[in-house]
Amino acid sequence: MKTIGHFIGGKHVEGTSGRASDVYNPATGEVQAQVALASKSELDAAIENAKAAQPAWAATNPQRRARVMMRFVDLLHRDMDKLAEALSKEHGKTFPDAKGDVIRGLEVAEFCIGAPHLLKGEFTEGAGPGIDIHSVRQPLGVVAGITPFNFPAMIPMWKFCPAIACGNAFILKPSERDPSVPIMLAELMIEAGLPEGILNVVNGDKEAVDGILDHPDIEAVGFVGSTPIAEYVYTRGCAAGKRVQCFGGAKNHMIIMPDADMDQAVDALIGAGYGAAGERCMAVSVAVPVGEETADRLVEKLIPRVENLKIAPYTAGDDVDFGPLVTKEAHARVKGYVDAGVKEGAELVVDGRNFSMQGYEDGFFMGACLFDKVTRDMSIYKEEIFGPVLSVVRAKDYEDGLDLAMSHEYGNGVAIFTRDGDAARDFSARINIGMVGVNVPIPVPLAYYTFGGWKRSGFGDLNQHGPDAFRFYTRTKTITSRWPSGIKEGAEFVIPTMS
């Protein structure tokens, strides 16, 4: 059986802790590999390696660091299919969706090619008598990222690309559920010219996470995952004096106004609600039609589309809509939520609980489910399901629909579908959610904007990728200088002012 260790100092390193975790093929239910789980001593060794390599990398000029990113982007294009296949085999998502995972990470690497510009400081000549002031952005040192299973290519690149472009060394602790692609990315970075020790991949579980949070040489930590763990990472990391950004769960609403193009809205809900089997933090899991007539039209059009979704392993071709869930435990959790929704009184108008794939009976496949007449007090509305389950919550009017999204504890993404510019503008201005789509169901910003949710979907002051990433992974130093010709004789006993 294949064993997966770590990638430290530019080399593959076998695990020595004696602990390992199974890596499944979600389509078959078979264990296809074992991944080592690092001990604290293994993590410490990786951090020491990164600490030793980082000063020379920080001293490398930004343009040369950017050239590594340029070559990395070329290598990602070269190995796109290879990366996507490895990703699909461990995660279960379709091949086109896996390629999309890689491409959205690649776009952040492209943005980081602009590091020489993004790292420029400011300068003021003659700020005072003979005084000039300038600022510079400098790397933090050794930083870390803890990334989830659902985007094993994209989110690691969202973390390590800007961190490395800024001159930091990076410790990546990816999900143990699909660990192959993060190591493949580290290999490509070395091939692109990154010095050994600047990007290290340490596989592990909570022991590795706690080791990262507690280690005095880790200056900053980025995390993506569930809200309870995001809050834990944020609290523990901040208590240890680190800079921390954490992104948690979501319950993304899509408001459908009476004037919306209903066919367009249904297309959007099908893709955004069921793509990747719903295992996306930006998946639309709540449809909010405004008015009973709008709701009836929406559900009537949704039912046959949901019933006819094609579910299969990624090997079945590019016309598959979605594949299996990532693990048996994930399948059981999603089914449990559907059972709870039925018990709580929601109408399960499409029931995918008993779906079985011929020849893949042991795989973690879940059929698409559609609930109607879901209410605010139900667990399927309040909690993140992370599966192919869409809930329809009927709103009396626009204000009721707006309040549904605004009152929910999560604030990751939201969308409105309408032909009314005034309604869209009002919605965009008032909504208390970090990413907003107008006739766009999954409003994930492009790489040169920042990604981040509000409320209990995000912890920390700065978002992922875009300019915020360069702010997060650097410190600003401001230098005030005056040369001897401008210095008056005698001591000065008052604080300098512009008087």
Collapsing DSSP states into helix, strand and coil, what is residue 393? coil
CA 462 to chain centre: 14
Q: Which residue has the tokens 């109607």?
A: 372
Q: Give residues with Cβ within 8 angstroms of 176, minimum separation 6.
A: 21, 23, 35, 37, 203, 204, 205
Closest C-alpha among 233, 258, 310 to residue 416: 258
DSSP 301-327: HHHHHHHT--B--GGG-TT--B---SS
Decide if 374 contacts 346 (C-beta within 8 A).
yes
Compute the distance between CA of residue 157 and CA of residue 470 in angstroms, rounded to an integer: 14
201 closest CA partner among 410, 36, 364: 36
Residue-by-residue DSSP string for 91-147: H---HHHHHHHHHHHHHHHHHHTTHHHHT---EEEEEETTEEEEEEEEE-SEEEEE-
Contacts 24+ apart (CB under 8 A), 189-194: 189/68, 189/72, 189/160, 189/164, 190/10, 191/71, 191/75, 192/68, 192/69, 192/71, 192/72, 192/74, 192/75, 193/67, 193/68, 193/71, 194/68, 194/72, 194/164
Dist. CA 232–CA 225, nearest whole Å: 11
Phi first, then psi: give them for residue 258, nearest 5 degrees: -60, -25
Q: Is 112 a catalytic residue?
A: no
At residue 407, what are phi and psi to the nearest 5 degrees? -85, -15
- Dist CA 364 CA 309 (whole Å): 16
d(CA 390, CA 374): 10
CA 274 to chain CA centroid, Å, is: 18
Pairing of strands 30-36, 123-128: unpaired
The catalytic residue among 112, 161, 166, 281 is 281
Q: Residue 205: name the closest of 233, 175, 226 by CA.
A: 175
Which tokens sit at 120? 């420029």
Element (H, E) at 84: helix 80-91
- How far lies 402's CA from each of 156, 158, 405, 431, 458, in Å? 34, 31, 6, 7, 20
- The alpha carbon torsion through 117, 122, 124, 128 (nearest 10 deg) reads -160
- Supply the DSSP symbol for 194: P
Q: Which residues are catalytic?
A: 281
